[in-house]
Amino acid sequence: MHLLPMRHPLPPLLFIACVLLMIALQQLVPLRDFASLPLRIAGLALVAVGIAIAQWHARLFRRTGTQIRTFDEPTRIVTRGMFRFSRNPMYLGMLLALCGAALALGALAALAGPLLFFIAAQAWYIPFEEAALQHKFGADYADYRRRVRRWL
């Protein structure tokens, strides 16, 4: 199958780059600190929940023998776990973790990380994956797409 010659960066690498960007911006851009200690703790909890969601669904892919690499040909449509409610729970988990990290950092500039990740997922990764799934699975994927929202 040939859709686009996309290979990099893989979503986990973009996730790490966004975390590093957030830390750098928190230090370099003097925008107002907005988070109290309870908000920072809530942010850390969101990081943990987001990473758990992403990892749970990555393991689900491995258990079902499904191709997890973003730019490789898909092997099946997974509809278990949060895939019943979201077509992209791994991206959702990473985005939730980045939002939690922004809260934990407590700096407005840190919001650039989740925003960058959301834009990349929404405009680049997800459309690529959806086109590959539609090409491979046709009506089965179209039906899944009608029943399940992209994010939530």
- Could you state, in order of their start, the residue ranges of all structural domains in the chain? 36-69+79-147
Looking at residue 2, its pLDDT comes to: 46
**Spatial separation of the C-alpha atoms in residues 107 and 38, rounded to whole Å:** 15
Query: Mean pLDDT in the chain?
Result: 92
pLDDT tens by residue, 36-84: 899 999 999 999 999 999 999 999 999 999 988 888 899 999 999 999 9
Q: Return the SS3 of 86.
A: strand
Arithmetic mean of pLDDT, 90-117 = 96
Q: How far apart are CA 65 and CA 75, in angstroms?
A: 8
C-alpha dist (Å) from residue 4 to 31, 72, 97, 104: 39, 11, 29, 37
Cβ atoms of 104 and 68 closer than 8 Å: no
